[in-house]
Amino acid sequence: MRVLFCASEANPFAASGGLGDVAGSLPKALVRSGVDCRVVMPLYETMKYRDRLSFVTNFSVPVGWRSQYCGLFTCEYEGVTFYFLDNEYYFKRGSLYGFYDDAERFAFFSRAIMEMLFYTDFTPDVINCNDWQTALTPVYLNLYYRHLDKFSRIKTVFTIHNIQYQGKYGLDILEEICGIGRKDAHIVEYDGCANFMKGAIEVSDRVSTVSPTYAGEILDPWFSHGLDGLLRQRQHKLCGILNGIDVDSYNPETDPNIPAHYNADTFQEGKLACKKQLIERFGLDDDGSPIMAMVTRLVGHKGVDLVKSVAEGLLQQGIQLVVLGNGEYAYESFFSDLCGRHPGRVGVYIGFVPPLARQIYAGADIFLMPSKSEPCGLAQMVACRYGTIPVVRATGGLRDSIQDSGDGKGNGFVFQQYSAHDLYEACWRAKEGYWQKEGWPVLVKRAMQCDFSWNVSARSYVEMYEQVMNLW
Ligand code: GLC
């Protein structure tokens, strides 16, 4: 089975969020299970490991009525073949996204993926596109390549990592930028906009999302950002497969970024050493208080407003808070201010530093993830792997990966309603649990023993690919 996995980011080359983690780890698991899975992504200026790439060829790609240069580079990383599509005008920029011409940059990328197939000996059985940045690929496949023998049998899967970002623009870009004429505009048109994600949902053979619960939630307007009507119509091709994490990389036994190593049997000493280092790093009081941490983008859907409401209350309960992340200015300044007012009790770093994130996963006791919505969420799984007990709201992948420990099973603390009161109550239970000196290590051990590897989910992906390949 040959699968081309298309993503706008992939670890370890370039990543800004969970998509990069998935594109860096799922293909590796698929290759291990015998699938010839290859990844294609843009060649960004800011990318790591640029010196490992080798040039294959170059060709031109239609962008509206114009034609643009595209270089094709490749490299093998941990058994996976990566292709990189190069155009300095589009990708030689300071960051991955957030430019006035993102529609054009990713229309180019989506079209270049199709053109690239003329220049490689790789004809996929399935093209798996991810999020809006690659959503036009299946649209282009159907409009401009289907009639060619090489492309006629290719099946398509579109995976939604977050329905909030759909690639929505004015209709005027369709002809000029996307090269989609008036006759075909209806494929990508939705609610009076050009909507890339809508196009992919319309034409792909399968639409998947990153947890079973989220696959149900996005049929509801509260979660769907306007796409629930369309998804309900197309429900027969929608499914949810829970993400895994790269357990080789996120491994407290070998992680070079943390000061002491440990596993599910030796965590008591190991975590204590990591906690000591974290206390020093953030200048916290070394008094045995539970450290509650957040590693997150500071944006609305992560539930930061709930944390704002309960933060002072948590501190009064003797909890210490550590926050790493950046995002909306109002949240950043709230946490900076909180840190200034509570020396020794609160540690804040505005920004994102991957090694520091790992030191927090290892050194904290409790991990906070009260998301309003969460398609999958990886941090709660990483936290479990490092023996840090998650407090989560029961939504999306959080609901599918964390069970409340109230009944003596479970791996965390779960609350249902999106309310500050319920979050506060769950945090209070976690803090009480922490002080139970016999019960807590049992919980930590159980959390560390959860299997969040890709083993199970990679099998579900293979089954999904087999199903689409059997479609007529
Ligand atoms: C997005 C989602 C997150 C998910 C990740 C990987 O970042 O917001 O919940 O874990 O994609 O699928």
> 377: Cβ below 6 Å to ligand 1?
yes
Q: What is the pLDDT of residue 459?
A: 97
- Residue 210 CA: nearest ligand 1 atom is 12
- Point out which residues pair with 76 in neighbouring strands: 81
* Planar angle of CA 57, 60, 62, nearest 5 degrees: 150
Task: Return the domain boundaries, the chain.
Answer: 2-244+455-469, 267-451
Cα–ligand 1 centroid distance for 163 (angstroms): 10
Q: Choose which residue among 161, 218, 401 to substitute to test ligand 1 binding: the one with the highest number of ligand atoms within 8 A of its C-beta.
A: 161
Query: Ligand 1 atom 10: the closest Cα is on which residue?
Result: 377
| Distance between Cα 366 and ligand 1 center (Å) | 21
**Which CATH code is given to the segment(s) 267-451?**
3.40.50.2000
Instruction: Give the ligand 1 atom nearest the CA of 19.
Output: 6
pLDDT recorded at residue 315: 98
Alpha-carbon dihedral 374, 375, 379, 382, rounded to 10 degrees = 140
Give the distance from CA 33 to its chain's centroid.
Answer: 22
- Residue 375 CB–ligand 1 contact under 6 Å: yes
Contacting residues for 417 by C-beta, under 8 A, at least 6 apart: none
- Look over the chain and give the mean of its residue pLDDT values, rounded to a whole number: 97
DSSP summary character for residue 372: S
E strand map for 210-303: 238-240, 291-295
Fold agreement between 2-244+455-469 and 267-451: yes
Cβ of 244 less than 6 Å from ligand 1: no
**Interhelix angle 439-448/267-282, nearest 10 degrees:** 90
Indicate which atom in ligand 1 lies nearest the CA of residue 17: 7
Q: What is the pLDDT of residue 416?
A: 98
Pocket test for ligand 1, best of 376, 382, 398 (most atoms within 8 A of CB): 376
Q: Helix or strand or coil: residue 233?
A: helix
Query: Which ranges constitute the DSSP H helices of 65-195?
Result: 88-91, 102-116, 136-140, 173
pLDDT at 126: 98
pLDDT at 407: 83
Q: Kindly report, residue by residue over 315-361, the tens digit of the pLDDT.
A: 999 999 999 999 999 999 999 999 999 999 999 999 989 999 999 99
Return per-residue pLDDT of the chain as tens, 472 residues.
999 999 999 999 999 999 999 999 999 999 999 999 999 999 999 999 999 999 999 999 999 999 999 999 999 999 999 999 999 999 999 999 999 999 999 999 999 999 999 999 999 999 999 999 999 999 999 999 999 999 999 999 999 999 999 999 999 999 999 999 999 999 999 999 999 999 999 999 999 999 999 999 999 999 999 999 999 999 999 999 999 999 999 999 999 999 999 999 999 999 999 999 999 999 999 999 999 999 999 999 999 999 999 999 999 999 999 999 999 999 999 999 999 999 999 999 999 899 999 999 999 999 999 999 999 999 999 999 999 999 999 999 999 999 999 888 999 999 999 999 999 999 999 999 999 999 999 999 999 999 999 999 999 999 999 999 999 7
Calculate the CA dihedral of residues 146, 147, 150, 151 and round it to 10 degrees: 0
CATH of 2-244+455-469, one of 3.40.50.2300, 3.40.50.2000, 2.40.170.20, 3.90.550.10: 3.40.50.2000
